[in-house]
Structure 1
Amino acid sequence: MRCPNCSSKNLGKIGVNHYYCWSCYIELALSNGVYSLNQVEEDGSLTTLDDLFDETERQAEM
């Protein structure tokens, strides 16, 4: 599995179908084969990055 943002394989699992990229510091949630990407802000809140990628770029590689 690779990060759709930076193509790194340096992902850690933080929950069921939730991952964290240690290279570009984003959180990924996998649902129905499509990633939802979020940036973790300094206060711990999440900001969606889904609008920066089309759905084909967010498809999970199986």
Structure 2
Amino acid sequence: MHCPNCKNKNLGKIGVNQYYCWDCFIELTLTNNKLSLNQVEEDGSLTTLDDLFEEQDLNVQEG
């Protein structure tokens, strides 16, 4: 799986179906083969980044 933002594979698993991109510092959540992207704010809250991406960029291909 690649990060849809920076296109790199430098992802770490932080939970069940949750990943963190160490290159662009965003959190990715995988649900039903679709990614949801969030930016982690200084106070620990999450801000969604989904509206910045096209639907096809957030779909994960199996296999």
What's the TM-score bracket when you normalise by the shorter of the two chains?
A: over 0.9
Structure number with greater CO (CA < 8 Å, separation at least 6) is 1
What number of residue pairs does the alignment pair up? Answer: 62
In 1: Cα distance, 2:5 partner to 2:56 partner: 13
**Larger proportion of helix:** 2
TM-score (structure 2 length as normaliser): 0.93
TM-score (structure 1 length as normaliser): 0.95
Per the alignment, residue 55 of structure 2 pairs with 55
Structure 2, unmatched stretches of 5+, are none
Would you identify which runs of 4 or more consecutive aligned residues in structure 1 move more than 6 Å?
Answer: none
Alignment RMSD: 0.7
Structure 1, unmatched stretches of 5+, are none
Aligned-residue sequence identity (percent) comes to 69
